[in-house]
Amino acid sequence: MAKLYVVGIGPGRADLMTREALEALNEAEVIAGYRLYVELIRGQFPDKTYIETGMRGETERCRRAVEEAAAGRVTAVISSGDAGVYGMAGLVLELAENVPDAEVIVIPGITAALSGGAVLGAPLGHDFAVISLSDLLTPWETIENRLRAAAAGGFCLALYNPASRHRQDYLAKAAGILLEILPPETVCGYVRQIGRDGETSGLLTLGELPSFGADMLTTVFVGSRSTRVINGRMVTPRGYSV
């Protein structure tokens, strides 16, 4: 049998992993991951065989992990955050499609919408949408359509991958689209390096978002019309009478 875990390790801090995730990594002989995420866990699991690749090495890394599992070694592919939210679960399931007796076990983790939301308060306390601003794998027009649809629907938003070295103006473009529909005083927030050394966070308005300098380690939150600032925290009430 080819036993293959896809494990969401959360933001990276050990106490933000579930015990289920720790146990899967304990059981695995081989652990595959993006270099930066492997560094987050290697100290806890020094005796594993690691498969590391850099950015854009996802398919190669997951293919090698599937091969290791097919050869009979229990293997875990790690994703930061949740395994299924822009993580490796889908890719591994695709690559394992024709492997006989493959057992793919997906283990959830704390994605940045949740860990970053907790830092800010409760920005996603009502219906919300999660959108990645990366157009590496998605046409920018699709991203624009989703931003418009989410704003029109009154969703709170968590924006992943708001910028990178090659996409410095994407958050500004996204904010411009949201400003077609939402008022500039809409409450927004950001968290950078969630759960890691040097974590920073703050609140700002949608009107200020175009000039905010996000990077690829930042998650951005955009409130709905009901989102408020309470004692410096970002809160979208669910609607209980208080």
Which residues within the stretch 31-60 sit at the binding site for a copy of itself (CB under 8 A)? 58-59
93 binds a copy of itself (CB under 8 A): yes
121 binds a copy of itself (CB under 8 A): yes
91 binds a copy of itself (CB under 8 A): yes
Q: Can you point out the beta strands (E) in 47-199?
A: 49-53, 75-79, 102-107, 121-122, 128-132, 156-160, 187-192
Exactly one of 132, 164, 193, 205 binds a copy of itself (CB under 8 A); that residue is: 132
> Shortest approach of a copy of itself to residue 189 CB, angstroms?
12
> Shortest approach of a copy of itself to residue 14 CB, angstroms?
7
Name the residue nearer to a copy of itself (CB basis): 165 or 241: 241
The single-letter DSSP state of residue 167 is -
102 binds a copy of itself (CB under 8 A): yes
Q: Give the Å distances, CA to CA, from 98 to 3, 60, 74, 171.
A: 14, 17, 18, 39
| Count of alpha carbons within 13 angstroms of residue 143, beta-carbon side | 21
197 binds a copy of itself (CB under 8 A): no
Distance CA 161, CA 87 (A): 13
Query: Per CB under 8 A, which region of 26-34, 101-109, 199-207, 208-216 contacts a copy of itself?
Result: 101-109
Distance CA 176, CA 202 (A): 20
Distance CA 22, CA 8 (A): 10
> Shortest approach of a copy of itself to residue 177 CB, angstroms?
12
